[in-house]
Homo-oligomer: A and B are copies of this chain.
Amino acid sequence: MAGSGAAVQQIERDDVPPSFTADHIDLFAAIDPAEIAMMSELVGQPYTVRRRQIIRREGELVDGFFFLHRGWVASSSLLDDGGRQITKVHLAGEMMGTPSIAVVKAADTLIALTPAVVSRIPLSALGRLFRDMPRLAGVLFLHAQMERIALADRMASVGHSGAESRLAALFLHLRDRQRLTDPTVGNEYRLPLTQEDMADMLGLTAVHVNRTIRALEQRGVIARKNRWLQLIDIDALGNLARMPQREPVRTPDWLPPPATTRPMTPAAAA
């Protein structure tokens, strides 16, 4: 089985992934422990994938979606011209492949950018969720809407700005996303993306990504070593990127109350 043998010894925390974490949706409303418990029950057994291993291929029949316990995963789709569009990179603690539940054949390929630990979530879990946990369903709905905003913002970046701007936006965005679940991440983080990966995310070519990164580096805006990226001149990056700040709603009052908790004072929030 995965994880057996001597390698386990040196790994202390962060090794056995929790069955389900709600960090990525928790910002809309504090997820009830009972809700997490139920989700954990529905989530399948975690398993490990190698770097560059395909978790689900575009075109396969959709029978569920995925939860990423550890590592980075890209969601991409192939283009007729042989190109590849990376729709999103998923970080630990996020759901993956959810858009494809709306279609018969998966719209995106999920491929591991690092060694990763994932679980499959069967669609039947969604049915129970919408029936028994309307509040959590509402939070997932909000999450999907937020993803639409994020995609629209990225499309604006790709459509209306140059290569430097797009790269700056990407670097800042990845920093912020990691911070969401790991506050220790600072302006220096490990970036497991290939330059070709970045190109496929931003609608550029690997060659031009290289040139642009190099220019940023020589100007002292960023630095690289091994696979680590250091953001040096944050202001310069911010000026280049100019991504709008989106403030997520926090426990909007229309959300149904948690299914597991009886509302104690009906008008307390008003």
Hey, which bits of chain A sit against chain B, CB under 8 A?
Answer: 28, 62, 77, 79-81, 83, 85, 87, 98-105, 107-108, 123-124, 126-127, 130-131, 134-135, 137-138, 140-149, 151-156, 158-161, 202-203, 242, 244, 246-249, 252, 254-256
Would you mind naming 22 contact pairs between A and B with Cβ atoms under 8 Å apart? A77-B156, A81-B160, A81-B161, A81-B242, A83-B160, A85-B156, A99-B148, A99-B149, A100-B145, A102-B146, A102-B248, A108-B152, A127-B138, A127-B256, A131-B134, A137-B137, A137-B138, A137-B141, A141-B141, A144-B144, A158-B159, A160-B203
The one of B80, B98, B141, B249 in contact with A103, judged by C-beta atoms closer than 8 angstroms, is B249
Q: Given contact pairs A101-B142, A102-B145, A107-B152, enumerate 11 new A-B contacts (beta carbons under 8 Å).
A: A62-B249, A85-B160, A87-B152, A101-B252, A102-B249, A105-B247, A124-B254, A141-B144, A144-B145, A155-B155, A158-B158
Q: Are A146 and B103 in contact (CB under 8 A)?
A: yes
Q: Which residue of B lies closest to A88 (CB)?
A: B152
A contact face: mostly helix, strand, loop, or mixed? helix
Interface centre among A81, A151, A256 (most CB of B within 10 A): A151
